[in-house]
Amino acid sequence: MKNIATLVTVFLTTISFAAFSQIGALNDLKIDSVQMLRTSAQLACKCIDSININEKGNKEISEGIKNCIDNQTGAYQLISKLMSASANNSDKAITINYNIDKESNEYKRYYFQIEHWLMDSCASLKLAVASNNDGSEFSYSNDPKAASEYNDGVDYMQKEKYKEALAHFEKAVKIDDKFAFAWDNIGLCNRRLGKLDDALKAYNKSLQISPLGKTPLQNIPVVYEFKKDYDKALKGYSDMLSVYPTDPESYYGMGRIYLLYKEDFENGLQNMCKAYNLYIEQNSPYRVDAEKNIQYIYGKMKAAGNEDRFNKILKENNITPQ
């Protein structure tokens, strides 16, 4: 019996359904829909793992992720339809309508199923979407010793050894105190180690060097959230939004603050909707997280008798309830 990965390739390269015109053929393979989704998503995850996130900007990384999911969506759609058709036509020839229109709702349904699995289970995807390599004049260092310390720090950070990583990043900025990305990672390591004030100092130092730095702008409100200063967290996201008006993370962050800490579901929903639309526009897998929060808000607003207001806010943001 052929393994599932081989079947994916076979069905994509040779779309010949004659051998599967009877239900017994597919049943003999003992494939179920959950197994097919898992296999397709695992192949997409392996593809994402091959993306060199250290040498690509955010837009290139997003496109790479999308291509990896697209490459498996076709196979997943095809075999899912074969299985369904076989189950419903045990004694008849099978006719498959294979949808390759990436803008169609049908194609997106299969794409989003793989994407959901990846967001839950693919570490490579989470690392790729969390990367921020869009730099400025001072993002990197031309000093080879500083660059070497920085690279060593990145190696430790990827292993979640933040104390060891911090030591290397601190050496890097001693050599080159205008090394903005090193300051960013000092902030990240201190945050992971619970040293929140030191994290803020590092992020603010990075912003002094590079005022448009996305990493510090995005992480300063996160630190304030950990410090339970939610008003400053909201201000931090607002500051980021003023610099990057099309970045969904600001809206998503504000939505979380309103939702989790202020129980202001209407403002939470407005921001989550804006984040959701931007994630869709930018092919970001974080669309899944915004969607889950919108569903959660629906439950809260419905329980409070505010379902009509929920639907009105979705309509204002051109979102159709599923």
pLDDT tens digits, the chain, 322 residues: what are they? 334 433 433 333 333 333 333 334 444 444 566 788 888 888 988 898 888 776 666 678 878 888 898 888 888 888 777 776 666 655 555 566 767 788 787 888 888 888 878 877 787 776 776 655 555 445 678 889 999 999 999 899 888 899 999 999 999 999 999 999 999 999 999 999 999 999 999 999 999 998 888 889 999 999 999 999 999 999 999 999 998 899 999 999 999 999 999 999 999 999 999 999 999 988 888 888 999 999 999 999 999 999 999 999 999 999 987 6
Alpha helices in the chain (DSSP H): 4-13, 23-29, 33-49, 58-88, 105-121, 123-130, 144-158, 162-175, 180-192, 196-209, 214-226, 230-243, 248-260, 265-281, 287-303, 307-316
**322: its two tokens:** 């599923």
pLDDT at 25: 41
Domains of the chain: 4-130 (no CATH), 144-316 (1.25.40.10)
What is the sign, positive or negative, of the torsion defined by CA atoms of 201, 59, 72, 78? positive
**170: its two tokens:** 């601190």
pLDDT at 104: 81
pLDDT at 185: 93
The model scores a pTM over 0.75 = no
| C-alpha 49 chain-centroid distance | 14
**207: its two tokens:** 């912003």
